[in-house]
Structure 1
């Protein structure tokens, strides 16, 4: 087998570009999955990777060997040094995959979530994982939101991407959103635990520093806050989303 060992190899450089650049992921229609868990999640969703990227050592591991049996696709072999350079894991597992960038699909979801300029890939990934766990599978990403297929976002979501309908949209929400809109704000709002959460609702989760955009706040049908001990800092957006979505699920189910 041919093993890529040079950092100057054009194939290796293209892989690094796919990892680092949202534009490259859009142009090629491809994403890079890092680690056995994400590859397995892709398979469980009924999709096959386009290519596997691995080291000889990793191929001997039982979990990776099982994935090789499940994936009759082209394989690209890297030296351990190049794998360590390509993978962003602290301890690379020795396997990555190139997969098709998912296209939005129709899902049966009573509720939706709107991501308003979420900038940190880890936060967005955690939000997507939370939404999937709460049964909120229709997701809208507004302009200014980080690329949902950045490697760090994919890792934080732990495979949730493959169970969600992700829509990147620049359209004016007020013109087409088929649900009432709920936002979390401190001013002129009702306690989450006293609010009427019976849906369907579209929850808006806002930018880490600025919160939900004023225009979206003005359009909201419901403004809620999470009661907290006085004098404490506000919650991370992903933590706040988890509290809201699971309070709704606790009361009314999926």
Structure 2
């Protein structure tokens, strides 16, 4: 899976005064000069993030095609697949993605009812795993059974 390209960078005056942030922006623009940089008012910046003391830099990018592909357009998925069924806690989804990537998995399907795999809390908990995985979202059980050819093994944390 190729890395999604950052199309827009957002920062503020506070961010540009931070040497690490200004250097990161400068280095990114050297590699991707077509990236647009917007400097937001610091008050507006504080409305963007739910993190206290968040660094004043953010990037907007296009989601990978695998995330956006409708399940009907995918005939089968070969190899091992991690399947998330109604995992609603964003932190847990991110942790599972991080663990899946560390274990060598490359495909993850989030069935309908799971937390959005690109939510900010999932991204933070995933700690970079997203760029190593092909992620599919919003699938039904029937679409899953039609597309996955590997034997299915299930686990649950609330089994008796």
Q: Shorter-chain TM-score: which interval?
A: 0.7 to 0.9
Work out whether 1:170 is the aligned partner of 2:157. no
In the alignment, structure 2 segments of 5+ residues that lack a partner are: 68-73
Query: How high is the TM-score relative to the length of structure 2?
Result: 0.77
Q: Matched residues in 2 for 1:150 and 1:86: separation?
A: 13
RMSD (CA atoms)? 2.6
Secondary structure class of the residue paired with 1:141 = strand
SS of structure 2 residue aligned to 1:93: coil
Structure 1 unaligned regions, length at least 5:
1-44, 186-207, 212-224, 226-254
The structure showing larger relative contact order (alpha-carbon pairs under 8 Å, at least 6 residues apart) is: 2
Paired residues of 1:109 and 1:135 also in contact (CA < 8 A): no
> Counterpart of 2:48?
86
Q: 2 CA distance for matches of 1:114 and 1:136?
A: 11
Task: Report the equivalent of 1:159.
Answer: 128
Deviations 1:1-54 (A, max 9, x none): xxxxxxxxxxxxxxxxxxxxxxxxxxxxxxxxxxxxxxxxxxxx5432121111
For 2:86 and 2:25, how far apart are their aligned partners in 1? Answer: 37
Larger Rg: 1
Q: In the aligned structure 2, how far is the partner of 1:128 from the partner of 1:87?
A: 22
Partner of 1:204: none
2:154 is the alignment partner of 1:183:
yes
| Partners of 2:11 and 2:56 within 8 A in 1 | yes
Any conservation in 1 of the 2:3–2:131 contact (CA below 8 Å)? no
Give yes or no for contact 1:109–1:138 (8 Å, CA) kept in 2. Answer: no
Alpha-carbon distance in structure 2 between the residues aligned to 1:50 and 1:64: 12
Q: Does residue 66 of structure 1 match 2:37?
A: no
TM-score by length of 1: 0.50
Q: Hey, what does 1:57 align to over in structure 2?
A: 14
> Equivalent residue of 1:132, what SS?
helix
- The corresponding residue for 1:95 is 57
